[in-house]
Amino acid sequence: MYLRHLGYACKNVTLGLDTGRSFRLASLTPERVRDTVAMNLDALEAILRWNVQQNIRFLRVSSDVVPFASHPASSFDWEAAFAERLAEIRDYAAAEGVRLSMHPGQFTVLSSPRPEVVEAALADLDWQARFMHALDPDEGTLTLHAGGAYGDKPSALERFAYNFRRLSPLAQRMLILENDDKVYHADDVLPLCERLGVPMVFDFFHHRVFHADGRREAGLLDVLARVVDTWGERVPKFHLSSAKEGGPRTAHADLVLEADLQAALDLMAQVGGDRPFDVMLEAKQKDCAVLPLVGFQQAHLAPSP
DNA sequence: GCGAGTCAAGGTAGG
DNA sequence: CCTACCTTGACTCGC
């Protein structure tokens, strides 16, 4: 397999632009939401144009792009107000072959035993699926973690599966599941993905943090092959970070070491098959982590026929 | 203009 | 029971 796109998340350090500016709930008015969404979409388009100039074609849009979108106190209809603007950006991204994604945050939990938490998560995933569909209907994804364990992981997984089926068809189609660094590792997430027919985004860094002793490396190729299978005809997506030196072992570094990317590419080469995959770099310095690796990425693209 | 206090939301680990 | 951590700063107020 060969690397297609490298991407980064939510904001651009070089340009000083952020797709997820927000404000306090106390300041919530329809006008404030409208102004903020307009600003975030302008930032998104400027970032996309800069990215294309740098040959970067993969970006995560912040889940705050529409502040309080699923909050009961908000009545702003972003779909009606920004239909044309979203279509413009969608057309630009499509013309340039740009892939987009979103990643609902830590509060979006489908496995929770608390009904109000699950209801909020369903509403959250629903609007983000519609937003993602408006921008990247073909390859857009919503990345989610499996949530908490609550002292009984099998029951939590059952709740996840049950609540997954309560999502809108669009949200079900856009959702993908990621292994985390302390509760649901790849061996938990992969069977869930296979059971639900949901693609799995494999996070190399979380996997390494979880298996710090290295003893999981033996079966890793089999896991990766199954991860790729969960994507069917779609292009698989991976997450990669380097460890922050001296920080907590789960912390992301400012940049991504070329050696860490190379290690991931070596593994993927061993998985085999002539098909592409994308890698989202999760690093503090965002675009600055991707830039030095773009040339590296070009060298690993499949040769043109 | 600036520094300090605060922010919608969940969950885990450790004391 | 409480705090720090994931994340993740940056918004908002009061001076």
Give A250-274 pLDDT, tens digit per residue: 777 788 999 999 999 999 999 978 9
The answer to whether the beta carbon of residue A250 comes closer than 7 angstroms to any atom of strand C is: yes
Question: What integer pLDDT is reported at residue A299 of this predicted model?
Answer: 73
CA of A112 to C1' of B6 (A): 27
The answer to whether the beta carbon of residue A183 comes closer than 7 angstroms to any atom of strand B is: yes
Q: How far apart are the first and last CA of chain A?
A: 16
Q: Which of A144, A145, A162, A143 is nearest to A154 (CA)?
A: A162
Question: What integer pLDDT is reported at residue A305 of this predicted model?
Answer: 47
Length of chain A: 305
Chain mean pLDDT for chain A? 90
Q: What is the largest CA-CA distance in chain A?
A: 57
- Distance between CA atoms of A88 and A191, rounded to whole angstroms? 39
The answer to whether the beta carbon of residue A154 comes closer than 7 angstroms to any atom of strand B is: no
Strand, helix or coil at A269? helix
pLDDT in tens, A108-137: 999 999 999 999 999 999 999 999 999 999
- Distance between CA atoms of A38 and A85, rounded to whole angstroms? 9
Structure tokens at A185: 């590792």
CA of A295 to C1' of B11 (A): 39
The answer to whether the beta carbon of residue A36 comes closer than 7 angstroms to any atom of strand B is: no
From the alpha carbon of A22, which nucleotide's C1' atom is closest?
C11
Residue with CA nearest to C9's C1' atom: A21
- List CB contacts of A158: < 8 A, sequence separation 6 or more: none
Q: Report which of residues 261-280 in chain A place their beta carbon less than 7 angstroms from any atom of strand C.
A: none
Q: Is the dihedral of CA A243, A103, A48, A172 positive or negative?
A: positive
Rounded mean pLDDT of A171-175?
95
Q: Kindly provide the residue ranges of all beta strands, DSSP E only, lying in A140-190, ordered along the sequence.
A: 141-145, 175-178
Percentages helix, strand, coil for chain A (3-state, rounded to 5) are 45, 15, 40
Q: Please check the confidence at residue A181 and state whether its pLDDT lies above 90.
A: no
- Distance between CA atoms of A103 and A4, rounded to whole angstroms? 20
pLDDT in tens, A143-157: 999 999 998 999 999
- List CB contacts of A2: < 8 A, sequence separation 6 or more: A268, A269, A274, A275, A276, A277, A300, A301, A302
Question: What integer pLDDT is reported at residue A213 of this predicted model?
Answer: 58
pTM above 0.85, yes or no: yes
